[in-house]
């Protein structure tokens, strides 16, 4: 995870003069009822285990949690935090070692990322913890001293690796794919040996980080597979030489895209990769529903026979930004189904643990649960520490290696509102979730106070649409007519639950060229009356001059809403047009989308209904 922080087209789309009646534009976003809020929860429904302990937060024990289920945390930035003067406090308020605090909280395993060479030519660190082999070894050794095991997360890059960025290490830039595979063997064996020789109790090695679209500068599946095989062989050989048993994990993200994840699992199987754990990232605010997560993990385990794990998850406890560097998530009081609060953080993490256990996964790792603001009375003061100690997500020195991202947006931690410590280093009660999933907690906290939506009650059913395939769940889109300007149709049917308002499919658009299309469907109504047309859409990067709106035509008369402003991922907009129609009238419901190159979005749940 990285922190950052055609055809004929209608002209215009606004109401034409003389055509406003009987069509009426309703600008209120009234469609899409929210799930009802709970006022409270009867205390006789509270579940606790026989070993429940007192806590300020409520945690319900997870049923049938396996004894060997791992409770992990990534703390890769800890050395840079300490070097910047960050101090952590235990439950009593006393200054204490982060490692002792986490071991006492029930953490079994520490995850630490490793970059090949996160320094510029003058030795200045790139930031993000300056996580090289030497620092990973120190973290792993300190974890072992406190009884915790280590997962080593190799990125095979000199800085952040994720689905959008898999840059080769500087030393590998001119190597062929085959040469990179050889280099991966040597590097992995040497680095892993050094970490283990330092005293780290390494039990899992992750070869690559969120490798959906490549690794080490390679993008073809054959090249990536060859590097993975070499890295896996290095892990096996090193473990054997040291008389240790180490499991190998492969890591992907985008679990909300079920088809993609299943294809990746099949690719590894058919390619004959020697590995043990299929790992995924799952952030409740980015990656779809828990039900989909359980389905995917269960299917992967069935199809491959491999263990599964959630290698990254998190949730914010506050909307406040502690270092003037922006937050990646949690700027609103409600996020998904949970309140952004200490109890909300507790409940969100609990639910991920419960879903993983139900799906037969072997563990969950929380990502960077101690990356809090560094000391300083101003951003300028903190900037000096980010630069000198690498305690921000990126320093300015990283711009040489990563000019398009770190070179433009270097700064502090965008994750400080998702830690288990407040901005002053005081331990939060939400950390009790790690022990509480086994025993439950004895707490006066309302069990449902972490939810902003009732998780036990389904949302009210949407109005039945007179349109065919209104949610694009069926593959047959012949009832929808798409007209576009340009050399290539910028639209498609996308299967990705996180980008759908409901179900797992939506009508998607994107193009590297200017986007200019309409999508519409015409039906004949059978009754006189007042009708409503509405839909849900979300997206971004459309430009200030974009014209995106819902329109309706009845017997040649047309009305459309004002342009809809798309303001980002899953910020759903729900425009409405209300109009009168008579039995036998042809009614067309459609969307006009005109935006700049790179604009993207999805349209879902297009409803035409009689009031």
- Active-site residue (options: 218, 312, 497, 520): 312
> What is d(CA 223, CA 241) in angstroms, rounded to the nearest whole number?
27
- Active-site residue (options: 60, 81, 210, 497): 210
Q: Which of 257, 127, 159, 151 is nearest to 207 (CA)?
A: 151
Residue partners of 323: CB distance under 8 A and separation at least 6:
373, 374, 376, 379, 382, 412, 413, 416, 423
Sign of CA dihedral 338, 341, 345, 350: negative
> What is d(CA 321, CA 417) in angstroms, rounded to the nearest whole number?
6
210 is annotated as an active-site residue: yes
520 is annotated as an active-site residue: no
Tokens of 542: 């459309």
- Bond before 534 cis per omega within 30 degrees: no
Tokens of 182: 């050889």
> What is d(CA 602, CA 596) in angstroms, rounded to the nearest whole number?
16
Tokens of 477: 């889109």
Q: Which of 337, 109, 307 is nearest to 203 (CA)?
A: 109
- Characterize 370-383 residue by residue with b for buried, 16 or more Cβ atoms within 10 angstroms of its Cβ, and e for exposed: bbbbbebeeeeebb
130-135 contact pairs (CB < 8 A, 24+) = 130/79, 130/80, 130/389, 130/390, 131/76, 131/77, 133/190, 133/191, 133/194, 133/195, 134/194, 135/79
At residue 177, what are phi and psi to the nearest 5 degrees?
-60, -40
> What is d(CA 478, CA 489) in angstroms, rounded to the nearest whole number?
15
Q: Which of 354, 383, 249, 235 is nearest to 291 (CA)?
A: 354
Q: Which of 61, 33, 24 is nearest to 46 (CA)?
A: 61
Residue partners of 272: CB distance under 8 A and separation at least 6:
229
CB 170 within 8 A of CB 401: yes
Q: DSSP string spanning 231-245?
A: HHHHHHHHHHHTT--
CA 79, chain centre distance (Å): 26
Please tell me the total number of residues recorded for the chain in this structure. 611
User: What are the residue numbers of the active site?
Assistant: 210, 312
């Amino acid at each position: 995870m990285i922190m950052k922080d055609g055809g004929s087209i209608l002209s215009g789309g606004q109401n034409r003069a003389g055509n406003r009646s009987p069509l009426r534009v309703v600008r209120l976003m009234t469609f899409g009822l929210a799930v009802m809020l709970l006022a409270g929860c009867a205390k006789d429904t509270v579940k606790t285990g026989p070993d429940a302990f007192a806590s300020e937060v409520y945690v319900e024990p997870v049923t049938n949690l396996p004894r060997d289920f791992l409770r992990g945390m990534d703390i890769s930035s800890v050395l840079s935090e300490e070097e910047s003067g960050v101090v952590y406090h235990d439950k009593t308020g006393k200054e204490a070692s982060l490692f002792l605090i986490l071991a006492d909280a029930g953490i079994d395993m520490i995850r630490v990322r490793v970059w090949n060479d996160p320094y510029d030519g003058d030795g200045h660190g790139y930031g993000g913890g300056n996580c090289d082999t030497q620092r990973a070894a120190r973290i792993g050794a300190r974890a072992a001293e406190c009884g915790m095991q280590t997962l080593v997360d190799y990125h095979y890059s000199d800085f952040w690796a994720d689905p959008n960025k898999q840059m080769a290490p500087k030393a590998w830039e001119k190597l062929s794919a085959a040469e990179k595979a050889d280099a991966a063997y040597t590097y992995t064996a040497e680095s892993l040996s050094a970490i283990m020789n330092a005293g780290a109790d390494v039990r899992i090695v992750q070869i690559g980080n969120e490798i959906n679209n490549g690794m080490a500068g390679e993008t073809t599946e054959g090249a990536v597979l060859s590097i993975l095989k070499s890295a896996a062989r290095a892990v096996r050989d090193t473990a054997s030489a040291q008389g240790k048993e180490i499991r190998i994990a492969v890591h992907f993200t985008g679990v909300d895209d079920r088809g993609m994840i299943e294809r990746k699992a099949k690719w590894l199987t058919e390619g004959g990769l020697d590995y043990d754990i299929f790992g995924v990232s799952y952030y409740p605010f980015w990656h779809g529903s828990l039900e989909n997560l359980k389905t995917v993990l269960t299917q992967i385990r069935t199809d491959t026979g491999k263990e599964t794990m959630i290698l990254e998850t998190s949730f914010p406890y506050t909307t406040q930004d502690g270092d003037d560097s922006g937050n990646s998530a949690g700027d609103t009081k409600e996020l998904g189904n949970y309140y952004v609060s200490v109890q909300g953080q507790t409940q969100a993490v609990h639910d991920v643990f419960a879903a993983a256990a139900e799906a037969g996964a072997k563990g969950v790792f929380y990502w960077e649960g101690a990356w809090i603001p560094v000391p300083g009375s101003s951003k300028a003061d903190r900037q000096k520490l980010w630069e000198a100690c690498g305690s921000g997500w990126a320093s300015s020195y990283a711009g040489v290696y990563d000019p398009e991202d770190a070179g433009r947006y270097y700064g502090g931690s965008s994750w400080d509102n998702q830690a288990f410590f407040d901005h002053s280093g005081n331990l939060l009660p939400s950390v009790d979730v790690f022990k509480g999933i086994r025993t439950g907690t004895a707490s006066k906290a309302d069990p449902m106070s972490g939810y902003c939506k009732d998780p036990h009650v389904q949302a009210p059913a949407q109005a039945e649409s007179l349109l065919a395939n209104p949610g694009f769940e069926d593959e047959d889109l012949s009832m929808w007519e798409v007209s576009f300007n340009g050399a290539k149709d910028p639209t498609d049917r996308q299967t990705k639950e996180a980008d759908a308002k409901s179900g797992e499919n939506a009508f998607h658009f994107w193009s590297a060229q200017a986007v200019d299309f309409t999508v519409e469907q015409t039906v004949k109504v059978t009754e006189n009356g007042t009708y409503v047309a509405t839909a849900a859409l979300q997206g971004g990067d459309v430009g200030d001059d974009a014209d995106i709106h819902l329109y309706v035509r009845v017997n040649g008369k047309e009305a459309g809403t004002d342009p809809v402003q798309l303001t980002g991922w899953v910020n759903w907009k729900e425009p409405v047009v209300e109009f009168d129609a008579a039995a036998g009238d042809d009614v067309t419901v459609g969307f006009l989308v005109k935006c700049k190159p790179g604009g993207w979005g999805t349209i879902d749940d297009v409803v035409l209904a009689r009031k």
